[in-house]
């Protein structure tokens, strides 16, 4: 297996990607101390790329900078997921509205392809926990990003990506504690159908329901009951 030094990607970018992946996969517990010296040994690079990666992840909310204590994995709380869901409902609804208005044939084709790829891995997994599977997570993200990819605002798209990763951290953690089953493939396919039909009102209703449902399940895993804001 290649070390970071052996790859062609800049060290800081590779360190960022690998550390981001480790955090999203919950290889570090919420609140865990992220010691620069340990990370340099794990990823085989100097402290400079690691610090750059930590600062970048801190700006995105996956890492917390604690005064005089360095870096820690961001905590996961009911209040936190409520805030993520609240902002996602605003940002992603606007990004999807704009994407539907401006999407062309290539955009539609990308949605069909990504939905098909997601469906294939979901059929392979069957009843296994999907959110814990790396391939499913990658295809799930690609599907959602394809929906928004025709949005004309670069800033909106950047915010969508950051918020999706924040939600992914919660989703991965809660998948190991979830009690209620969920058929997300049905939700994804209904959303695809509405988007491709350019039924903006229906698509927005479905994406809001989809995001809110995720919030309910995560909050249930965190607190044992849905929070007041979603009832």
Assigned token pair, 209: 């329901």
Selecting from 3.40.50.920, 2.170.130.10, 1.20.120.530, 3.40.600.10, what CATH number does the domain 78-230 have? 1.20.120.530
| Domain map (residue ranges) of the chain | 4-73, 78-230
Show pLDDT as tens, one digit a residue, over the chain (231 residues): 444 444 477 888 999 999 999 999 989 988 999 999 999 999 989 999 999 999 999 999 999 998 777 899 999 988 899 999 999 999 999 999 999 999 999 999 999 999 999 999 988 887 766 777 889 999 999 999 999 999 999 999 999 999 999 999 998 888 776 555 555 668 899 999 999 999 999 999 999 999 998 888 888 887 653 333 232
Residue 35 vs residues 75, 105, 124, 213: alpha-carbon distances, Å: 16, 48, 38, 35
In this structure, are residues 206 and 213 in contact, taking their beta carbons and an 8 Å threshold? no
CATH fold of 4-73: Arc Repressor Mutant, subunit A (1.10.10)
Instruction: Residue 203: name the closest of 192, 214, 211, 218 by CA.
Output: 192
């Amino acid at each position: 297996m290649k070390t970071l030094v052996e790859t062609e990607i800049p060290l800081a970018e590779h360190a960022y990607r690998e550390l981001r992946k480790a955090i999203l996969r919950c290889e570090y517990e919420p609140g865990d101390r992220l010691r620069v010296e340990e990370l340099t040994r794990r990823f085989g690079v100097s402290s400079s790329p690691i610090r750059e990666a930590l600062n970048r992840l801190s700006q995105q909310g996956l890492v917390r900078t604690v005064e005089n204590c360095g870096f820690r994995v961001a905590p996961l709380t009911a209040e936190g997921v409520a805030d993520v869901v609240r902002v996602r409902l605003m940002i992603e609804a606007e990004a999807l509205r704009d994407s539907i208005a401006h999407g062309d044939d290539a955009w539609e084709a990308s949605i069909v392809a990504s939905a098909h790829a997601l469906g294939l891995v979901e059929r392979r997994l069957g009843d296994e926990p999907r959110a814990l599977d790396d391939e499913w997570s990658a295809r799930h993200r690609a599907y959602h990003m394809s929906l928004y990819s025709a949005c004309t605002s670069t800033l909106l798209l950047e915010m969508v990506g950051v918020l999706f990763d924040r939600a992914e951290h919660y989703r991965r953690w809660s998948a190991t504690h979830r009690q209620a089953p969920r058929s997300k493939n049905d939700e994804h396919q209904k959303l695809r159908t509405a988007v491709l039909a350019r039924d903006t009102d229906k698509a927005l209703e479905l994406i809001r329901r989809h995001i809110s449902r995720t919030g309910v399940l995560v909050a249930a895993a965190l607190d044992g009951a849905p929070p007041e804001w979603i009832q």
